[in-house]
């Protein structure tokens, strides 16, 4: 009789653990979906606007840029397979379209920062408008864990501004 009680107790504990685990997974999924909703919505709206202004056929990258003003950028290909960049201010007005070949790619902007600011780990990059011009913002972390932001001109690859040791 005792072995049946032990086995029954093990089954109850196992089922309880599985139930708790499923509840944790469910709540984590809900939290993730809700927290990523603004990014997905901004991306979808930016793609819609980019499609109105260009013949965008394929989206390769989306960026949310928040320096002086918020802007959203789409990097992709048009129907002729040309690589294009579409930068959209948060207001949705004054959309800018560039050929990717006329400016730096994300990889080139990161390489510039890596070469000119050694000892920094690159965290992320974003493309947007800074002082009326397209620019890459490359965020790094130094060996003391401090954040650094470097603004690199999209067209000329020159460093526009550095905000360091935050």
The mean pLDDT of 59-80, rounded to a whole number, is 95
**Predicted TM-score (pTM) of this structure:** 0.77
Count CA atoms closer than 13 A to 52's CA, side-chain side. 13
> What are the φ/ψ torsions at residue 81 (nearest 5 degrees)?
70, 20
Query: Strands across the sheet with 70-78, in order?
Result: 56-66, 70-78, 83-89, 96-99
Q: What is the pLDDT of residues 25-58, one digit of tens each?
A: 988 887 776 766 888 889 999 999 999 999 999 9
Q: How is residue 20 annotated by DSSP?
A: H
SS3 sequence of 131-152? CCEEEEEEEEECCCCCEEEEEE
């Amino acid at each position: 009789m005792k072995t049946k009680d032990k086995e029954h107790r093990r089954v109850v504990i196992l089922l309880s653990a599985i139930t708790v685990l499923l509840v944790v997974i469910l709540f984590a999924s809900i939290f993730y979906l809700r927290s990523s909703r603004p990014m997905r919505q901004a991306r979808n709206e930016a793609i819609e606007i980019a499609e109105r202004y260009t013949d965008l056929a394929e989206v390769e990258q989306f960026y949310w840029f928040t320096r002086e003003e918020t802007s959203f950028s789409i990097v992709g290909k048009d129907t002729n397979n040309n690589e294009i960049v579409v930068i959209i201010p948060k207001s949705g007005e004054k959309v800018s379209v560039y050929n990717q070949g006329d400016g730096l790619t994300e990889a080139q902007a990161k390489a510039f920062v890596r070469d000119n600011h050694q000892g920094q780990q690159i965290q992320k990059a974003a493309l947007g408008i800074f002082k009326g011009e397209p620019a890459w913002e490359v965020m790094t972390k130094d060996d003391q864990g401090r954040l650094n932001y470097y603004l690199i001109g999209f067209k000329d690859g020159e460093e526009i501004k550095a905000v360091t040791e935050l």
